[in-house]
Amino acid sequence: MRSPARTAWLAFPFACALLCASAVGAPKNVIIMFADGAAPTQWELARYASRVLRNQPFVVTDRVFRDGVLGLLSTHPAAVFVTDSAAGASAMSTGHKAQNGAISVTPDGARPRTVMEAAKQSGRRVGLVTTAQIWDASPAAFSVHAGSRREAQSIVDQYLALEPEVLLGGGRDFFLPKSAGGRRTDDKDVLAAFSAKGYAVLREPRQLRESRAAKLVGLFSDHALGLEIDRDPAREPTVADMTRAALDALARNAGADADKGFVLFVETENTDDAGHRNDIAALVRALWAFDEAVAAALEFQANNPDTLVIVAADHETGGLSATSARGETGGNTFPVIVGPKEFEKIMRIDASLDAVAAKLGARPSPEQLDALIAKHFPGFTLDADLREALLLQRPLERNFAISPQTVLSRMVSRQTGFYWGTTGHTAEPVAIGALGPDAQLFRGYADNTEFGRRLLQLIDGR
Ligand SMILES: [Zn+2]
Q: What is the mean pLDDT of residues 216-237?
A: 97
The pLDDT value recorded for residue 254 is 56
Q: Is the pLDDT of residue 253 over 70?
A: no
Q: How many CB atoms lie within 10 A of CB 285?
A: 23
Residue partners of 374: CB distance under 8 A and separation at least 6? none
Within 270-404, residue ranges assigned H as helices are 270-276, 280-303, 340-347, 353-360, 366-376, 384-391
Mean pLDDT across the stretch 59-65?
A: 98
The whole-chain average pLDDT of the chain stands at 92
Query: What integer pLDDT is reported at residue 430 of this predicted model?
Result: 98
DSSP output for 402-417: STTHHHHHHHHHHHH-
* CA 424 to ligand 1 centroid distance, Å: 7
- Residue 18 has a pLDDT of 41
Q: Quick count: other Cβ atoms within 10 Å of Cβ 180?
A: 13
User: Are 348 and 452 spatial neighbours (Cβ–Cβ below 8 Å)?
Assistant: no
CA distance 226 to 353: 12
Residue 26: the pLDDT is 85
- Taking the C-alpha atoms of residue 294 and residue 317, their distance in angstroms, rounded to an integer, is 20
Which protein residues have their CB within 5 A of the ion that is ligand 1?
Answer: 272
The Å distance, Cα 353 to ligand 1 centre, comes to 16
Pairwise CA distance, residues 13 & 17, whole Å? 9
pLDDT at 423 > cutoff 90: yes
Note whether 271 and 283 are within 8 A (CB). Answer: yes
Per-residue pLDDT band for 3 (boundaries 50, 70, 90) equals: very low
Residue 185 has pLDDT above 70, yes or no: yes
Instruction: Read off the pLDDT band of 397 (50, 70, 90).
Output: confident
Model confidence over 318-373: pLDDT tens digits?
A: 999 999 888 877 778 889 999 999 999 999 999 999 999 999 998 899 999 999 99
As beta bridge partners, residue 169 has 219
| pTM, 2 dp | 0.93
Instruction: With CA atoms as reference, report the closest residue to 379 among 357, 358, 403, 349.
Output: 349
Instruction: Look at 164 and 6; give whichever has higher pLDDT.
Output: 164
- Give ∠ CA 409-330-379 in degrees, rounded to 5: 50
Q: What is the pLDDT of residues 87-127, one digit of tens each?
A: 999 999 999 999 999 999 999 999 999 999 999 999 999 99
Please answer whether residues 285 and 268 qualify as being in contact, where contact means their C-beta atoms are separated by less than 8 angstroms.
no
Q: How much is the pLDDT for 19?
A: 43
Of 94, 20, 28, nearest in space to 64 by CA: 20
Q: Across residues 418-438, what is the average pLDDT?
A: 97
| Confidence (pLDDT) at 258 | 53
Question: With 50 as the cut, is the pLDDT of residue 20 above it?
Answer: no
CA of 255 to the centre of ligand 1 (A): 39
Using 50, 70 and 90 to split pLDDT, how confident is the model at 25?
A: low
Q: Dihedrals φ, ψ of 418, to 5°? A: -85, 105
Determine the distance separating the centroid of ligand 1 and the alpha carbon of 207, expressed in angstroms.
30
Q: Residue 144 contacts by C-beta under 8 Å, 6 or more apart in sequence?
A: 103, 104, 114, 116, 117, 155, 158, 159, 162
Stretch (H or E) spanning 10: helix 4-11
Percent residues over pLDDT 90 in the chain: 87
From 441, 230, 251, select the one nearest 354 (Cα to Cα): 230
What are the distances in angstroms from CA 234 to CA 45, 111, 129?
Answer: 29, 40, 19
User: At 411, which amino acid appears?
Assistant: M
Confidence tier at 24 by pLDDT (50, 70, 90)? very low
Q: How far, in Å, is the centroid of ligand 1 from the Cα of 315?
A: 8
Catalytic residue numbers read: 85
Res 420 pLDDT > 60: yes
Query: What's the rounded Cα separation, in Å, for the pair 288 and 281?
Result: 11
Per-residue pLDDT of 437-447, as tens digits, reads 999 999 999 99
- For strands 216-219 and 262-268, give the pairing: unpaired
Confidence tier at 386 by pLDDT (50, 70, 90): very high
The b-or-e profile of 339-350 (16+ CB within 10 A means b, else e) is eeebbebbeebe
Residue 256 pLDDT: 54
